[in-house]
């Protein structure tokens, strides 16, 4: 995630890093080439081009804007829901720690370490890394590596431990019910993150919008070359920059758990949970919070 929110004037002119520009540079270049061809053709055969009406392009362009805004809305909503889920994870972790503060020290330590392990495992799972290795520093999950969902196994063990604490009378049944709500919340966060991660926006939407945007931007210079001559390049490139840029940005937000600059900072949020849990366990030697690298927090 890029931690700056408002671009300064210099940013507007010069920023490339964090911008969507590098990802669409090749497509912009192709459109520029097409524009030059259109301009040269218009200079050679002015009669034909003068007759081309720009009105249908206005119509298609506005329709395209409306549909692209719809897709961007959907992608942004996924990104924001992803952030809300991780926020809920942080909230529930703190609540869990608060509710268990009078448990025997050892039990509590094991449970809060399990939460750290759960957060590490979820991060690894969503980013396609090795779940077992990520969990190992916090929880000893033993040789049960055949499970298709090791992160859920961590949660399962926590739940079993809590049930045992209830059966041995360490926590009352009603207190168990209160704590179970946090457990439910952890499970919900994992399930919902997996849902976002495995279910892309319907492919046919992306394909339809890509195709229309590409054909539109290829056709636009032919419509404008007759009247604008070399000036054609400006509105064509500005339009292409906006459409391709929003399209590429929507794609980046569609999977909010990736490692691209605009994705969510899972590592930093995982570290926040670790610091919160260790601090509530009374430890003073906390791992440092993650710092943004070139304004990007991963």
Q: State the Cα angle at 40 between 35 and 42, rounded to 5°.
A: 95
| Cα–Cα distance, 108 to 88 (Å, whole number) | 21
Which residues, numbered 105-134, are part of the site for a second copy (CB under 8 A)?
A: none
* Minimum gap (Å) between residue 292 Cβ and a second copy: 11
Contact residue for a second copy among 107, 109, 136, 216 (CB under 8 A): 216
Q: How far is CA 272 from the centre of its chain?
A: 18
Q: Provide the b/e sequence for 19-37 (b: ≥16 CB within 10 Å).
A: bbeebbeebbeebeebbee
| Pattern 240-279, a second copy, x by CB under 8 A | -xxx-xx--x-xxxxx-----xx-x----------xx--x
Stretch that binds a second copy, among 96-104, 110-118, 125-133, 135-143 (CB under 8 A): 96-104
Instruction: Compare residues 109 and 188 and give the one whose CB is closer to a second copy.
Output: 188
| 44 contributes a contact to a second copy by CB under 8 A | no
Contact residue for a second copy among 110, 127, 136, 212 (CB under 8 A): 212
The DSSP annotation for 206-221 comes to HHHHHHHHHHHHHHHH
Contact residue for a second copy among 44, 47, 105, 284 (CB under 8 A): 284
Stretch that binds a second copy, among 32-40, 118-126, 133-141, 167-175 (CB under 8 A): 167-175
Structure tokens at 59: 């119509």
| 228 contributes a contact to a second copy by CB under 8 A | yes
Instruction: Compare residues 124 and 246 and give the one whose CB is closer to a second copy.
Output: 246
* Minimum gap (Å) between residue 275 Cβ and a second copy: 5
Contact residue for a second copy among 41, 107, 109, 194 (CB under 8 A): 194
Backbone angles phi, psi at 289, to 5 degrees: -70, 150
Half-sphere exposure of 70 (CA within 13 A, CB side): 12
Which residue shows structure tokens 């940005």?
A: 249
| CA nearest to 75, candidates 130, 21, 20 | 20
Contact residue for a second copy among 40, 43, 129, 147 (CB under 8 A): 147
* Minimum gap (Å) between residue 260 Cβ and a second copy: 10
Stretch that binds a second copy, among 34-42, 84-92, 123-131, 135-143 (CB under 8 A): 84-92
Contact residue for a second copy among 59, 129, 130, 140 (CB under 8 A): 59
Q: How far is CA 127 from the centre of its chain?
A: 11
Contact residue for a second copy among 33, 40, 163, 259 (CB under 8 A): 163
DSSP letter (8 states) at residue 154: H
Give helix 55-99 / helix 233-254 axis angle, nearest 10°.
30
| 34 contributes a contact to a second copy by CB under 8 A | no
With contacts defined by CB under 8 A, how many residues of the chain interact with a second copy? 131
Which residue shows structure tokens 């056709």?
A: 219
DSSP letter (8 states) at residue 288: P
| 38 contributes a contact to a second copy by CB under 8 A | no
Backbone angles phi, psi at 2, to 5 degrees: -85, 125
């Amino acid at each position: 995630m890029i931690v700056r929110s408002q671009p300064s004037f210099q940013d507007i002119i010069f920023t490339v890093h964090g911008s969507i520009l590098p990802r669409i540079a090749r497509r912009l270049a192709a459109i520029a080439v097409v524009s030059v061809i259109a301009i040269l053709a218009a200079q050679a055969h002015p009669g034909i081009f003068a007759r081309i009406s720009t009105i249908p392009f206005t119509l298609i362009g506005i329709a395209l804007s409306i549909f692209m805004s719809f897709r961007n809305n959907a992608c942004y909503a996924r990104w924001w829901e992803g952030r809300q889920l991780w926020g809920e994870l942080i909230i529930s972790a703190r609540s869990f720690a608060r509710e268990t503060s009078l448990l025997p020290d050892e039990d509590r330590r094991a449970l809060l370490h399990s939460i750290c392990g759960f957060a590490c495992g979820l991060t690894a799972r969503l980013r396609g890394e090795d779940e077992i290795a990520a969990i190992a520093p916090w929880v000893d999950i033993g040789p049960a590596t055949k499970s298709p969902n090791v992160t859920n196994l961590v949660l399962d063990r926590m739940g079993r431990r809590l049930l045992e604490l209830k059966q041995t009378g360490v926590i009352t049944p009603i207190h168990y019910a209160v704590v179970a709500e946090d457990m439910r919340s952890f499970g919900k966060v994992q399930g919902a993150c997996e849902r976002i991660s495995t279910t892309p926006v319907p492919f046919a939407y992306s394909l339809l919008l890509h195709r229309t945007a590409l054909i539109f931007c290829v056709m636009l210079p032919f419509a404008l070359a007759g009247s604008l001559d070399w000036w054609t390049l400006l509105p064509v490139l500005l339009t292409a920059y906006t459409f391709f840029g929003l399209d590429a940005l929507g794609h980046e937000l569609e999977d909010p758990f990736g490692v691209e600059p605009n994705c969510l900072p899972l590592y930093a949020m995982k570290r926040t949970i670790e610091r919160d849990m260790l601090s509530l366990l009374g430890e003073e030697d906390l791992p440092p919070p993650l710092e943004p690298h070139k304004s990007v927090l991963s």
